[in-house]
Amino acid sequence: MVKNSTIRGVAEHVDAMPMPKKFVMAKKKKDREEKKQKLESEKAERAALEAAGVKLPKKKVASKFSYPTPEPVPEPKPLTVDEAMFYTTSWNAANVIAKKFAAGSLTTANYGEKTSVFSRMNEIAEERGSMYP
């Protein structure tokens, strides 16, 4: 290999090539056989100890049907107008949030605030609206 050359040696090229499929399968089979032999030897040791009268704790087997119970989602804290505006990503999003605050339909407004804004808007609609149901 030449110093400061971009040409690499044969060993680096061979290492970069993927292993042929038959060798990958042979390696997996060898690993499975080793695991099987290990389990058999552990089982034989366990049987020998139990035959000698030594009590061993049983291994816990996890059920495939038992799912972990997820923790409950915490309640969202109420946002102020400034906090909601701070988290916006653009000018348009800020305007949308501002309109929601004006109409009282933003999720941070409680029921009393929403109904009071609606009743005030309803009075204005009665006075100024050309059509009222």
Question: What share of the chain has pLDDT > 90, as a percent?
Answer: 15
Residues 6+ apart with CB under 8 A from 103: 117, 121
**What is the pLDDT of the chain when averaged over all its residues?**
77
Domain boundaries, the chain: 11-52, 81-128
Give Rg (Cα) of the chain. 36
How do residues 52-100 score in pLDDT, each as one tens digit? Answer: 888 888 877 777 777 777 788 888 888 887 787 777 777 787 777 777 7
Token output for 88: 């916006």
| 127 half-sphere exposure, CB direction, 13 A CA radius | 5
Q: Convert the pLDDT of each residue in 107-120 to its tens digit.
A: 566 677 767 776 77
Model confidence pTM above 0.95: no
